[in-house]
Amino acid sequence: MGMTEWWKKSTVYQIYPRSFMDSDGDGIGDLRGIIEKLDYLQELGVDILWLSPVYDSPNDDNGYDIRDYYRIMKEFGTMEDFDELLQEVHARGMKLVMDLVVNHTSDEHEWFKTRPDFYIWRDKPTNWRSFFSGSTWEFNKERGQYYLHLFSKKQPDLNWDNPELREAVYEMMRWWLDKGVDGFRMDVINMISKVADMHDAPGSDGSHQFMNGPNVHTYLQEMNREVLSKYDIVTVGETPGTTPKEARDYTAAENRELNMIFTFEHMGLDQASGEKWDLKPLRLTDLKENMEKWQHGLHEKGWNSLYWNNHDQPRIVSRFGEDTDWRIESAKMLATCLHFMQGTPYIYQGEELGMTNVRFESIEDYKDIETLNMYKEKRAAGVPHDDIMTAIHAKGRDNARTPMQWSDEANGGFTTGTPWIKANPNYPEINAEQRHDPDSVYQYYKELIGFRKELDIITHGDFELLLRDDSDIFAYTRTWENETLTVFCNFTENTKAVQRPEGEVLICNYAVNLSEGDVLLRPYEAIVFYKN
Ligand code: TEU
């Protein structure tokens, strides 16, 4: 592993600044609030902090609609606050990765007025549906044409076929890298190249015409040549709709594009159709098969990110675990399942506490544009309120965006003011004060993060799925030189016996209780054996 591949032994922590910590009582998280919590993060042992966008934005999509790439969002603080945050992160031996949103800007970005050639205009719209409901085309009266917006109408897509736009992006990236940031998470970066002849698509799904498009690798190789290759940084592409084969093209070192990507396949296994709101229960064998496919698909040919959570996904303990009677056990079990795989793990704020989904009864309590647009559209189509709320409770992005729960004080100690979104009412029972308990989810995550630094087998070992057809247990081995890790994760309340493997217990989310023969896995039990 070369000097520049430090990210292969790192663990990343994602901060959604709006909901992380509010230092000035305006109810919105800010950069000074993050500075106040850096010791908490250093104690956890994470190596890289990924900040969701902190640039100037009208917040139509909570910062993923950038108005000025060179200014800090006023609610989050000043550029001086940012410089201090970066300095304090580096002083603690951690790294800071920014969220690069360059598939689109805000419609309030000056370019939208001064450089129409930086955007995508057509006389006639296609039938494509936006990720945020409605059409992906908006008519602009001044110009007398439609502009493309895959997301909200205030997020016009940039025209990456224009070399002047690409150079403007590269110049901005150099500006942040010259400040000392340590890399980028690249928002829907596999959507930047659209087919030239955009046309109507079956089911209004234009994704085959804008995902992994004709010039995406050309542009990423140019970005790497012009910018990325000149810095010792880490890059991760957010690439919905990408297969392991395409992921190899993005992450193979010899292709000189990105270090890793986020797959979405495992996040689609509990949806019945192309729409995330169309719920179906997860089948564990589907999850096992999919994660095996990605472990094998990128082994020695690329690099995986490993995640269950982010600011767009419901919280995993409520989704694939059990968040009432077995919350702590299942939170630890899910973490074990992920953290012994090959790749770079991502922890989303609050995941290390076992924070859960939220259930607001009123749509007024929800803030996310994706949710609110969907609600409006489905209500207009006559779908009952309760049916829509069931889907929002299961899959809404605000599940991940309620304030970080620091203590049992008002609003979980996130703000002394009125939070921009209500706190999850379970903050008195679930908060960071519990991290001092040796049996807390936080201390368990801290142990997992430590193993990745200590045991090279986690970074390099071969992955082999065990008990393939078992619908309760996710089990696998990692092997490397003369070492073996055997991981057992019980995803159910059923007690199951498994054959005891070689080696000693490395970690277990219960007090270890091994009889001579088989291992009896208790509800949501995770146990890892290590032989060297
Ligand atoms: O998300 C891209 C994306 O594919 C989302 O539509 C995601 O699949 C969906 O929200 C799941 O419910 C990125 C950012 O992570 C997201 O927060 C932004 O809203 C979006 O791009 C536009 O920038």
Residues 160 and 286 in one domain: yes
Reported as type and span, the H/E element at residue 484 is strand 483-490
**Bridge partners (DSSP) listed for residue 483:** 480
Residues 377 and 484 in one domain: no
Pocket of ligand 1 (CB under 6 A): 61, 64, 101, 131, 151, 187-188, 238, 240, 276, 311-312, 370, 397
Instruction: Ligand 1, residue 370: give the atom nearest the CA.
Output: 10
d(CA 95, CA 38): 11
Query: Is 452 inside any structural domain?
Result: no
Share of residues in the chain with pLDDT > 70 (%): 99
Output the six-digit token pair for 295: 């472990």
Query: Is 448 inside any structural domain?
Result: no
Q: Is the pLDDT of residue 147 over 60?
A: yes
Query: Is 193 inside any structural domain?
Result: yes
| pLDDT interval class at 517 (50, 70, 90) | confident
Q: What is the pLDDT of residues 284-313, one digit of tens each?
A: 999 999 999 999 999 999 999 999 999 999
Q: What is the pLDDT of residues 72-122, one digit of tens each?
A: 999 999 999 999 999 999 999 999 999 999 999 999 999 999 999 999 999
Ligand 1 mean position, distance from CA 312 (Å): 6
- Which residue, by CA, sits nearest to atom 9 of ligand 1? 312
Query: Is 60 inside any structural domain?
Result: yes
| pLDDT interval class at 390 (50, 70, 90) | very high
Q: Is the pLDDT of residue 219 over 50?
A: yes
Q: Which whole number is the average pLDDT over 333-339?
A: 99
Residues 515 and 371 in one domain: no
Residues 167 and 36 in one domain: yes
Query: Is 407 inside any structural domain?
Result: no
- Number of Cβ atoms within 10 Å of the Cβ of 202: 8
- pTM of the predicted model, to two decimals? 0.98
Residues 222-233: b if buried by 16+ CB within 10 A, e if exposed: bbbebbbeebeb
Residues 91 and 225 in one domain: yes
The per-residue pLDDT of the chain, averaged, comes to 97
Ligand 1 mean position, distance from CA 48 (Å): 21
By residue range, what is the domain housing residue 376? Answer: 365-397
| pLDDT interval class at 407 (50, 70, 90) | very high
Ligand 1 mean position, distance from CA 129 (Å): 14
Query: Is 283 inside any structural domain?
Result: yes
What local confidence, expressed as pLDDT, does residue 516 receive? Answer: 81
What local confidence, expressed as pLDDT, does residue 82 receive? Answer: 99
Q: Is the pLDDT of residue 239 over 80?
A: yes
Q: Is the pLDDT of residue 276 over 60?
A: yes
Residues 236 and 163 in one domain: yes
CA 207 centroid distance within chain: 20
Between 244-251 and 284-298, two packed helices, what is the crossing angle to 10 degrees? 30
Determine whether 187 is an active site residue: yes
Determine whether 238 is an active site residue: yes
Which of these three, 288, 303, 318, is where a domain ends?
A: 303
- Which residue, by CA, sits nearest to atom 18 of ligand 1? 64
Instruction: Give the residue, out of 55, 129, 131, with the most ligand 1 atoms within 8 A of its beta carbon, to mutate for a pocket test.
Output: 131
Q: Is the pLDDT of residue 3 over 60?
A: no
What local confidence, expressed as pLDDT, does residue 2 receive? Answer: 46
Q: What is the pLDDT of residues 58-67, one digit of tens each?
A: 999 999 999 9
What local confidence, expressed as pLDDT, does residue 274 receive? Answer: 81
Query: Is 446 inside any structural domain?
Result: no
Which of these three, 303, 326, 345, is where a domain ends?
A: 303
Which of these three, 256, 284, 303, is where a domain ends?
A: 303
Query: Is 308 inside any structural domain?
Result: no
Set 56, 238, 322, 323: catalytic member: 238
Give the count of domains, the chain.
Answer: 3
Residues 207 and 282 in one domain: yes
Q: Which whole number is the average pLDDT over 493-519?
A: 95
CATH number at residue 136: 3.20.20.80
CATH number at residue 464: 2.60.40.1180
- Long-range contact set of residues 506-512: C-beta below 8 Å, sequence gap at least 24: 506/451, 506/530, 507/336, 507/444, 507/447, 507/448, 507/451, 509/328, 509/329, 509/332, 509/333, 509/336, 509/444, 510/329
**R_g of the chain, CA atoms, integer Å:** 23
> Minimal CA–CA distance to 130: which of 423, 473, 301, 370?
370
d(CA 329, CA 375): 34
Residues 372 and 262 in one domain: no
